[in-house]
Amino acid sequence: MAGAGPSFLTLPERPAKPRAAGLTHVLDKGYSLDRVASVLAAYSGWIDVWKLGWGTAYVEPALAEKVRLLRDHQIKPCTGGTLLEIAWLQGRVDEFFEFATWAGFECVEVSRGSTDMLLAEKNRIIRQARSLGFEVLAEVGSKNPGDLVIALDDVMGLETLRRGLRSDTIGLGIAGVLGPCALRGRL
């Protein structure tokens, strides 16, 4: 195994960037620019989306440099959903989109895992984001095991769909720890 790494598994061929399927996304929990550069030096060929989670984009001192570095590696920078949820709570969604545009984000995550946002409001924000040219990442389900898992009848036109699980949750796929999820409509 010297040099090339292990070869005992048969893996599907990975399409070249920009990929439409088999996307890999990184959750940035407030990483320094040096740490981001180090991760990209080793793994940029595998990474498609880099999400600055939990509002870290709002306080990131090297935001412009980080976004530029990600774009240089053909990785889409994305805001985390919590920042948009806070903006929504404060009635500042338009200002959030102005910030995301100014900062150079290509993607925004629209979530409602930390607020009491109604699904209809989430869908309105998704439509607004798309009309402004953003790719939208959205959660399906809930971080609260007592909540019902929703059908996606009203969430239309999303390029990327991901399960709304915490980063430390064990369980992958559409039928994860919250049970099966019905997917209907155009995604």
Q: Tokens for 103?
A: 């900062």
181 found inside a domain: no
Structural domains in the chain (count): 1
Cβ atoms of 60 and 68 within 8 Å: the answer is no
Among 86, 96, 75, CA closest to 19: 75
Tokens 């100014």 belong to which residue? 102
* pLDDT for the residue numbered 19: 87
In a domain, 7, yes or no: no
Average pLDDT, the chain: 80
The pLDDT tens digits for 39-69 are 999 999 999 999 999 899 999 999 999 999 9
pLDDT the model gives residue 160: 43
Work out the percent of the chain whose per-residue pLDDT is above 70.
73
Does residue 78 form part of some domain? Answer: yes
Residue 80 pLDDT class (50, 70, 90 cuts) = very high
Residue 102 belongs to domain spanning: 25-163
Q: Is residue 10 part of a domain?
A: no
Q: What is the pLDDT of residue 55?
A: 93
The region of weakest confidence among 4-18, 87-101, 143-157 is 143-157
Q: What is the DSSP letter of 9?
A: S
Q: Six-digit token pair at 117?
A: 């946002």
Averaged pLDDT, 117-143: 88
**Residue 180 counted as domain residue:** no
Residue 93: CATH number of its domain: 3.20.20.70
User: Under a CB-based contact definition with an 8 Å cutoff, are residues 89 and 120 in contact?
Assistant: no
pLDDT at 87 over 80: yes
> Among candidates 50, 102, 114, 39, which has minimal Cα distance to 79?
50
Domain assignment of residue 55, yes or no: yes
In a domain, 11, yes or no: no
